[in-house]
Structure 1
Amino acid sequence: MDQGVSRLKVSSAIKYGFSIVGLITLVSGVVAYQKSSRFVEEAFSVQGKVVDYQTSVGEGVTHYKAVVEFVGDDGEKHRLLSTIASNPPAYDEGEMVEVLHPRGHPQDAKINGFLEVWGVATAMFGLGVPFFAVGVIMFLASGYQLRRNKNLKTSGALVSAQFQSVRCNYSLSFNGRNPFVIVCHWLNPETQKLHVFESENIWFNPERLIAGKAIDVYIRHGHPEKYYVDISFLPQVAA
């Protein structure tokens, strides 16, 4: 790459990035869950009444947050604003709802609803699980690919393919950049069938380093669709 980032560093950054973001988000979800659990266990419960709505308009849609009036454990009237905006309103005006607040702190009250109490933890888990799962899957896939490539180099058949082109892989992006893939052809002398091989992702354009060259490709005996394009001759960092 122009910045001198190696193929391995980019691949590792993507895998570690997903895994670390996912793990941090999951830990945040656990912390939020524990905090909500303590809140529910220790909270003072009272009945409140929906007396009004706070409205906001986004993309032409009006969203409503309930304004709830209740009497706290201090004997005084208080109001709270729902943390969840919705359309239509989640509560009817005049509806009675359960209100929870820490003892002695009615200003920190919440409506006892799932999203009101558990929304942050739910959101953290909802984001963390797929991010962490993608990271783990990428690590497993990378390990599988390394083992497969090693097996092909050890027990596969070596053929010499002719370089054809370098294409940009627009299905993958990192820091606004797309990797490149080497495309090469091999004519099977036994079947006279032309096979097209593509390399793994390369995070710099290698065309000037391989134009007109033959490229080693390892194929499984009898199954040329199972192959490994050997690009170990390329530098790990673009020159």
Structure 2
Amino acid sequence: MNLVKAVGGIFLLVGLMMLAATSYLYIDQNDFIADAKEAEGQIIDLVRKQQNKDGNTSYTYSALVRFTDDEAVTHEFIDRVGSNPPRYSKGQDVILLYAPDNPADAIINDFWGRWAMVIIFGCLGTIFSSIGGGMYFWQVHKARTRLWLLENGTAFSVDFLEVQRDLGQSMNGRNPYRILAQGKNPFTGKLEQYLSKAVWIDPTEYLPDRKLRVLVDPNNSSRHMLDVEWLADNI
């Protein structure tokens, strides 16, 4: 399978799973808010969390909240949202929501307290599915275009120029190869260069002094391909 298509498919799948999780979280949070009881609480401390990325250390702060439920029982919970600078100050009073059957399950009753997790998963899911979907369906489109050109394209000959390493792709530390050729486009009359799709074995020994074939859409000369399908029979 094409590497870009495979990576795109994985990103798309992860993104769709995140979006599905977003839908679940949204419904679950709506149900929680509908059944929750409101109470007043106080920030009694700020919990610092350390994060290490690329050798850099950063910190986020989450509020530790104390409140008393309607049964006069005191509870504490840590706000699910961490930030830097902190969203609240020590000693600050807040309004919160808690589950009547499990008062330890509580959130600060503000926009981020209610919807932070939904927004985070939704944004990540949208990003992953957009990038992955773009990569995947672009490769599908390219594959369909190549198939159409093989079956319906007008062929003309071009001259082999060189084999290039494609440093923009890698798999297991290896880079694929692309064949560069040059010839006159019969539809435009211009001398143009044509780059093949990626191939994973060096085709150089099969190419010197060889004429190559370009297939072009006669109704749209920008749709073309350098035909390297014959390499599969030689490598």
| 1:82 counterpart = 2:75 | no
Residue type of the partner of 2:20?
V
CA deviation map 1:7-26 (0-9, x unaligned): x4545423432322222121
The alignment's C-alpha RMSD in Å is: 3.2
Structure 1's unaligned 5+ residue stretches are 1-7
Aligned with 2:98 (options 101, 112, 115): 101
Contact 2:187/2:218, CA 8 A, preserved across alignment: no
Paired residues of 1:73 and 1:104 also in contact (CA < 8 A): no
Q: Which structure 2 segments of 5+ residues have no match? A: none
Q: Secondary structure at the match of 1:233?
A: helix
Q: Are the equivalent residues in 2 in contact too, given 1:73–1:106 (CA < 8 A)?
A: no
**Partner of residue 40 from structure 1, selected from 9, 12, 33:** 33
Equivalent-residue separation in structure 1 for 2:168 and 2:141 (angstroms): 21
CA pair 211-74 structure 1, distance change in 2 beyond 3 A: farther
Residue-pair matches, total? 231
Q: What residue number does 2:162 align with?
A: 165
* Mapped pair 1:197 → 2:194: yes
Q: Secondary structure at the match of 2:228?
A: coil
Q: Deviations over 1:111-132 (max 9, x none)?
A: 1233333222222221222322
Corresponding position of 1:128: 125
| CA distance 1:63–1:131, shift in 2 (3 Å) | closer
Q: State the TM-score, normalized to the length of structure 2.
A: 0.80
Deviation digits for residues 115-168 of structure 1 (CA, Å, limit 9, x no counterpart) = 333222222221222322334334543444345445545564422122222223
TM superposition shift of 1:42: 1.4
Equivalent residue of 1:234, what SS?
A: helix
Tell me which protein shows more strand as a share of its residues. 2
Please state how far the C-alpha of 1:47 moved relative to its aligned partner: 0.9
CA shift for structure 1 position 229? 1.0
Inter-partner Cα distance in structure 2 for 1:102 and 1:222: 66
**TM-score, normalized by length of structure 1?**
0.79
Instruction: Out of 216-225 and 26-35, give the one that drifted further.
Output: 216-225
CA offset digits 1:171-215 (Å, max 9, x no partner): 344565543322111146999853210112334433344344221
**Is the CA contact (8 Å cut-off) linking 2:6 and 2:136 kept in structure 1?**
no
